[in-house]
Amino acid sequence: MDVRSLRPGDPVSVGPYRILARLGAGGMGIVYFARSPGARPAALKVVRREFADDAGFRERFRREVAAARKVSGLYTAPVLDADADAPQPWFAAGYVPAPTLGEALASAGTLSEPAVRALGAGLAEALQAIHAAGLVHRDLKPGNVLLAEDGPRIIDFGIAKVTDATRLTGTDAMIGTLAYMAPEQITESRDAGPEADVFSLAGVLVYAATGAKPFGERDPATVLYEVMYEEPCLDGVPASLRGLLAACLAKEPSERPDLESVLAALTPVDPRALDSPALRREVAAREAEATRAVTEPVTPPPPTPRVDDGEAGKVGRRRILGLAAAVAVAGIGAGTTGWTLTRGRSAPAEPAPRGTALGTAPPPAWTFTPPRPVTGTSMVRVAGDVVLWGGGEEMYGVDARTGRRLWAHEKANPAYAGNLARGSTLVVIGGVIGDFDDRTITLVDVRSGEVANLPTPRAVRPSFVPGVAGDTILVRSPTDAWGLDLDSGEIRWHRSDEGLLSGAVDETGVYLSSDRSLAALDPVTGRDRWVHTWSGSGGGRDGASLDLAVAGGRLFGDFGDTLQAFDTASGKSLWTRNSDEQFDTVVTAGADVIFKHEVLRAYDQATGAPRWTLVAPEPFADHRGHLAAGDALVAAAFNEKEGPAQGVLVAGTDGRARWAHRGPAESQAGWEVAVSGSSVFATDHKRLYRFEAGR
């Protein structure tokens, strides 16, 4: 039996079950091979501590176990026992001595059409029983299907959902396995229902028939995009099954057939199509191995090694999550025993019906071409009815409605500009990029283009203007921050840190994040109003946020591996979300806050509840200028890291993508964007465009 030895810290027993070996680890917990008091083998899952500490998770766990008990063992590995109130909740399922579909396909190759039909009919019938019990599986994949002698079984209810319950957990992770996940599981704009299992069923059958996943094998962000917007690849699927599987893979849940229709389309089937002498030998070998394992003396887990206090905590949560692997609940291998399934060749089939692709951008409402090329990477901002656009040595004021040039100014780059001061004054650092001897601070009236240089003390060498709070300008370098008087340019206060600093402002406060702390400052005096200090051990909340956003009396950032929101007045933590990604940008959009990495993830500003996830044709580009949002629209630039694919994706603040504009940019950094009302302003660093988002 292909199991793993127990590790230091593994339990000797859980409830009445004796732990014999490890089967694997998944996102929700660790799976063990165990022995019941009556010497029966079982697959026992112990929930991870971070979920065990969530009372809402325990409640959902209890309800799901109760629902899973109603599903007959004819279709699943039956639930034998469970304890939702244990320090770490657990449940035990009957051990089914059978290979997973994934193991079978890896060993013997693809299935014949009769075998695919028999597999599909068995899984559809099993899903009917699961749904009748009030459950939605939400992670159907080849590793969660066992090929037992009496038909396929569906296993691993670790991330199932009770259909008649409200969402009880607070996890912000997408639930499911990317290659088989339905679009509604990705966006999180609605709870995934039974239709999501139909989508996953079709993906499993495509894989069984062709050996390929319907949405490719590339990096996760690309797979997510293809699931959302591209048609599935059904090359090699038998012609008689193509229409059915294409319908099951429809983007909209309402357009997919129900399980009764799927079952009717697959039947009648040959019940012997999935059976073979090799499968029977495999099952017999697994039964014998399981019997041996539960009757031999148990080898206890090794003792937990002593860890020196000075070394504790140096491996953070992100590293641990990055090393974790997903393993099926009852997927116990059988050593070197090989076996085959009956298979055949199908004639070439007609192309499958196409899926719903992402819409193409409308023609630009106007295009502004500068009299001479802008220098370097340009940035775009909107201030009322004026669009500010410029590169390293120039800035243009452009009428937002007509695209007409209003004014031009040399050596004032909006890339280094914060929010408007006194309604219409933009504060910029007016130096040529790379010229560290020119750090003049310039005030630009966005309506007239009139400029004035602010006297700047020699000690101040800023590289960015996070914004203006009242009459205090916040400027910073990578490791220093200064509060300057808006009228005189004099230094009001100065902060320095050994690590990198991030900053943000609102009407009444200045907020600085460093590797060691997050602080709210009085903008005039620079005195601390409140401070949160992170531990220095490399633990879960170390490290400065790469970006901060503030809106509605709340401050948002990604601190180490935790997304957090704070009350700006008191510093009270409003909510936290664990994450295994480092987000480089955070912006507010309507009632949500959006964090950007290679995908966008939106959360409710007030509660932190996950709202949606958005993917693009390529990973989203780095840094703040590539993402903009308003009350109704989100625009983000995507940029292939090693290739020419560039463009802009536009979506509503409900997370629904509207269209994409594809085209090369004059900078390797990709496109830059800004949003105002129903307009999206974008630049390829050669021209400035205005698009109307539409509906």
Could you give the C-alpha distances from 662 to 229, 232, 394, 647, 682, in angstroms and in order? 15, 21, 26, 4, 12
Closest CA to 405 of 450, 432, 367, 451: 367
Q: Name the CA radius of gyration of the chain, rounded.
A: 29
Do β-strands 688-692 and 679-683 pair in parallel, antiparallel, or remain unpaired? antiparallel
Which residue type sits at 516? R
Do β-strands 145-148 and 672-676 pair in parallel, antiparallel, or remain unpaired? unpaired
Q: Residue 451 in 3-state DSSP?
A: strand
Bridge partners (DSSP) listed for residue 585: 596
Q: For the chain, how many helices (H) and strands (E)? A: 11, 42
Active site residue 139: yes
34, 44 Cβ separation under 8 angstroms: yes
Closest CA to 119 of 284, 341, 327: 341
Please give the backbone phi and psi of residue 442, each rounded to the nearest 5 degrees, phi first: -120, 140
For residue 414, is the peptide bond before it cis, meaning its omega torsion is within 30 degrees of 0?
no
Q: Residue 65 in 3-state DSSP?
A: helix
**Nearest-angstrom CA–CA distance, 223 and 179:** 7
Q: Could you give the angle at which helices 113-132 and 259-266 cross, rounded to 10 degrees?
A: 150
Closest CA to 512 of 57, 500, 487: 500
**Nearest-angstrom CA–CA distance, 535 and 521:** 21
Which residue type sits at 16? P
**Nearest-angstrom CA–CA distance, 235 and 250:** 17
**Nearest-angstrom CA–CA distance, 120 and 106:** 19
DSSP 282: H
**Nearest-angstrom CA–CA distance, 505 and 135:** 47
Neighbours of 350 (CB within 10 A): 8
**Nearest-angstrom CA–CA distance, 116 and 344:** 11
Bridge partners (DSSP) listed for residue 595: 586, 601
- Which of 139, 156, 584, 684 is catalytic? The answer is 139
Q: Which residues are catalytic?
A: 139
